[in-house]
Structure 1
Amino acid sequence: MNRRLAAFAATFAVVLGATAVMAQSDVIKQRQTLLKEFGDLTKPVGGMLRGSNAFDLAAVQAALDTYAKSAKELPALFPAGSDTGDTDALPAIWQDKAKFDGLFAKLASDATSARAAITDEASFKANFPGVIRTCGTCHDSFRKKS
């Protein structure tokens, strides 16, 4: 009977460990998907700031709506233990989680404010750079340099 119990316990530990690795991998993929979406939406909007793309209010609003929504979801996608694997996340995230989470809260707030303020190209050029600066702060402090 003790052998069966020991075998069950060993099997359970292996399954539990594999589940934890899969969950960690899933959370990394989830956050990468959201952050890739940020990049995909930011490229054309950045072109608008530089003057290489025509101003498109709907594209700007879509980007800001996504930033605001996803910035609220992203902190939960950086749980303890999700710092290894296929990730560019720096250990600083978990060393200063309050600052990291605060940057996402600021991004959500900045995006929401900019969404309300941007009505034309002039207001876009005045308000959008502040949103992007928050992104840059996070990249500079919490993301591996490529």
Structure 2
Amino acid sequence: MRRLVLAAVLAGVALSSVSAAGDPIKERQALLKEMGRATRPVGAMLKGDASFDLATVQAALDTYIKNAKQLPNLFPPGSDKGGDTEALPVIWKRHDEFTAIYAKLERDATAARAAITDEASFKANFPGVVKNCSTCHDTFRQKK
């Protein structure tokens, strides 16, 4: 009986993992939302609406680095349909250009992670990192 219950539980876990892992639209949206959440407090610092906090900046950069590695793989052919997505079809027509933005984001965030040590270096380096976000949004994301 225990084996049967254990097998049923494991099967349920496996199925839920497959369904979550099998939806690239939901996966990429989760990573992009995570990046947005990481950016908000840092954006407030850039505007002068919040005090500079190095740990928060580093955490945001770490999120960008991690997610920039994963996101290009979450735009497979056909994932422009079948879900609620703001991804434009141009992503799949200019896929190399699209994925290059994530590679640049990763490089820029990694460089900024090493360079930012105080508020002055933050203000000098961080805007270049988030410019990658604007580049992608302006070309590859549906305007709201």
What TM-score, normalized to structure 1? Answer: 0.83
Give the structure 2 partner of residue 134 of structure 1. 132
Give ranges in structure 1 of 5+ residues lacking alignment. 1-21
Give the structure 1 partner of residue 48 of structure 2. 51
Structure (1 or 2) with the larger CA radius of gyration: 1
- Kindly provide the CA deviation profile for residues 49-87 of structure 1, in whole angstroms up to 9, marking residues without a partner as x: 000011010000000011011101000000000001210
Q: What root-mean-square deviation, in Å, do the aligned CA atoms of Structure 1 and Structure 2 show?
A: 1.4
Deviation at 1:26, TM superposition (A): 1.3
Q: In 1, are the aligned partners of 2:88 and 2:140 still within 8 Å (CA)?
A: yes
Give the structure 1 partner of residue 94 of structure 2. 96
Is the counterpart of residue 62 in structure 1 residue 81 in structure 2? no
Give the structure 2 partner of residue 10 of structure 1. none
Give the structure 1 partner of residue 80 of structure 2. 83
Deviation at 1:115, TM superposition (A): 0.2
Is the counterpart of residue 33 in structure 1 residue 30 in structure 2? yes
Counterpart CA distance in 1 for 2:60 and 2:66 is 10
Q: In 1, are the aligned partners of 2:20 and 2:27 still within 8 Å (CA)?
A: no
What TM-score, normalized to structure 2? Answer: 0.84
SS class of match (2:87): coil
Counterpart CA distance in 1 for 2:90 and 2:112 is 28
Give the structure 2 partner of residue 17 of structure 1. none
How many matched pairs?
Answer: 125
Counterpart CA distance in 1 for 2:33 and 2:72 is 15
The residue correspondences of 1:90-129 to structure 2 (distance < 5 A) are 90-129=88-127
SS class of match (1:81): coil
Deviation at 1:23, TM superposition (A): 7.8
Counterpart CA distance in 1 for 2:24 and 2:88 is 15
- Structure 1 runs of 4+ aligned residues shifted over 6 Å read 22-25
In the superposition, relative to structure 1, how do residues 79 and 47 fare at CA in structure 2: closer, same or farther (>3 Å)?
same
SS class of match (2:84): coil
% of aligned pairs identical? 66
